[in-house]
Homo-oligomer: A and B are copies of this chain.
Amino acid sequence: MIAPIFRRVTLIGLLLSAIGVSAQNLADRLGYPPGTKLIIVHADDLGETHAVNAAAIKALESGTINSASLMVPCPWFPEMADYAKTHPDADFGLHLTLTSERIYYRWGPVASTDRVPSLVDSNGYFHHDWEPRQQIDAKQVEIELRAQVERALAMGVRPTHLDSHQYRLIMSGKDLFEAMLRVAHSYKLPIFVTRDWFEEHPYLQASLGPNDIVLDHTVTIGPEVPPEKWADFYLTAIRNLKPGVTEFVIHPGYDDEEERAATRERSTWGAAWRQRDFDFFTSEQFRQVLAEQKIKLITWRELARPATSK
């Protein structure tokens, strides 16, 4: 809950931000006391497999993960849409998906394939990967993103935010980012962007408007962290958290037959990886370090409230 006095502060913050003079972080602009550290513990890839859905639901219900996003084109999306309908307070965004990156288990676009030919391979699936020379058509991207949002809405999901699977819409240039941004504005949804990315991708900052929410930081684990250092990585990140709003982008899942089979061609974001994320973020150790560091949890629902109430 944000008290009325903070709403005024928020508007001033947004105004200052808009004219480029603000050194405030998003927590300040939301009206929190200086130095406040807020995190979104955000599970990605829901809908991709049942093993991911089941683990994410368990983690959400245990209260340590408080936000997630759903992959609409994936075969297990209906399971999450059903859950979202019966849990309308859950903080679910849409994990806009334009790739089908595995080998033995695949999916394709929501839009009619004829309308998005640059997004699909010769078999009609989304590309495994985008080769540097591949021409991904921004208009087709926008068609597909709108189709994903429309399917989610039609199936009863009320998303709180949009983000991008594999950061494709963030890291692939101004045209694709602006396609995502247009869709976000159409549906009055915030998108997951952080200031951390502005230096490498200046078009992000250039394209964003004064009313767009920008997170301060993000933390995500990478393949350079060995399995035995998993908890250490997260504990260190939490103990060194900067003030402002940080999204932890995590990938919980169960290391079971389905997930092992679906991800078996490589270990990055594979079944064991996802089990390690599940284990850490549902651990007592994680709860304790949050309390010890006086870190507060926040969701996209709370972040979006000032923006959508304008």
Contacts and interface: CB of A to CB of B under 8 A. Distances in A.
Given A257-B51, A261-B50, A155 B78 contact: no
Contact of A54 (B53, B54, B82, B261): B261
A154 B105 contact: no
Contact of A112 (B114, B147, B257): B114
Interface residues of A, number: 36
A107 to B, nearest CB: 6
Contact of A75 (B107, B124, B256): B107
A18 interface: no
A258 B76 CA distance: 10
Interface in A127-159: 147, 151, 154-155
A262 B79 CA distance: 9
A81 to B, nearest CB: 9
A155 B257 CA distance: 24
A79 B105 contact: yes
A211 interface: no
Nearest to A48: B75
A123 B50 contact: no
Interface of A: 49-51, 53-54, 74-79, 82, 103-107, 110-115, 122-124, 147, 151, 154-155, 254, 256-258, 261-262
15 contacts: A49-B258, A50-B262, A51-B258, A54-B261, A75-B75, A75-B106, A78-B103, A78-B105, A82-B104, A112-B115, A113-B113, A114-B114, A114-B115, A256-B256, A257-B257
Given A50-B257, A122-B154, 19 more contacts: A50-B105, A50-B261, A50-B262, A51-B258, A54-B257, A75-B105, A75-B106, A76-B105, A78-B103, A78-B105, A79-B105, A82-B103, A111-B113, A112-B113, A112-B115, A123-B151, A254-B257, A256-B257, A258-B258
